[in-house]
Amino acid sequence: MSTPAMSAEGLTKTFRTPGGGSLTACEDVSVELTQGRTVAIVGESGSGKSTLLRMLTGLERPTSGRVLLGEQEIQDVRGSLLREVRRHVQMVFQDPLGSFAPRMRIAEAVCAPLINYDAIGRREVVPRAREMLRLVGLSEHLVTRRPHQLSGGQLQRCAIARALTLDPQVLLCDEATSALDVSAQAEIMALLARLQDERGIAIGFVCHDLALVAHFATTILVMHRGRVVEQLPAEGLVERARHPYTRRLLASVLDLRDRDGHLGREPGGGSRPRPQDEAADGPLVEIAPGHLVARPASGAGDGR
């Protein structure tokens, strides 16, 4: 089996709170990102998704656990070594407008990584920016514009173009479509799928919308209260989902409603779980190849 482009093993992140307490945002999370495949990390707000991505990129240091780029441990790297890691791991953030300097023209903004790594001369900025804009389906004439002159969808395409300038092995997207309208979301997802086919990038895509990622991802990682409660292939998600929390997420997706607007039978059967039934799950257990489920707490069903 080939080495994943990036992986995490047993990542835990605990924050100190005012008054001397603590808050565990992620607990014992493991994930593998493989070239040419997409892992969608889903869950409601506060489930630990973004904290996981920040640990993968080195923006947060894990309390325990390992992060590997290929076979190299990177969770403790700093300085020039961290700078080198970030050549290979790029991130697209949730707010496209907030991720660009407002006074910088699009050409300089898109090529900023190349400039920062001394990989391009000033005379090459505009030609390279035009090339990258064409890659993501934008008019090359936008190179002279400033961020506020572009739509949200156009600006997020620019953010993707910027992330790809260094030809990274791994692309991490943190709610990269949540600020966009439905049509722009579909366009961005189709763009990422095309670019992945062309470049073989490993993608980690954080999202709270299962409907959006179900047809795009290879693997679904479901997080709840800082822990992974289910990991399964995206194909056949509705039929295969077993954990009560995953089923609850699926039951909230409008696409599961029939033509009369009635919600169909919940995937995996059973009644909708109560929040108190999900408070304390056991360790992940493999129930089928590539399908792991945390055994729910007593009273929430056996997860089979």
In this predicted structure, what is the pLDDT of residue 161?
94
Average pLDDT over residues 92-96: 86
DSSP state of 20: T
Average pLDDT over residues 81-104: 88
pLDDT band at residue 80 under the 50/70/90 scheme: confident
With contact defined as beta carbons under 8 Å apart, do 69 and 6 qualify?
Answer: yes
The Cα 164–Cα 173 span in angstroms is 12
Q: Which residues of 225-264 are buried (b: 16+ CB within 10 A; e: fewer)?
A: bbbbbbbbebeebbebbbbbbbbbbbbeeeebeeeeeeee
pLDDT band at residue 105 under the 50/70/90 scheme: very high
In this predicted structure, what is the pLDDT of residue 208?
82
All domains in the chain, ordered by first residue: 6-235 (3.40.50.300)
In this predicted structure, what is the pLDDT of residue 255?
53
Q: pLDDT tens digit string along 17-74?
A: 988 899 999 999 999 999 999 999 999 888 999 999 999 998 899 999 999 999 999 9
Q: pLDDT tens digit string along 213-263?
A: 888 899 999 999 999 999 999 998 989 999 999 999 998 875 544 444 443
Whole-model pTM: value is 0.86
pLDDT band at residue 2 under the 50/70/90 scheme: low
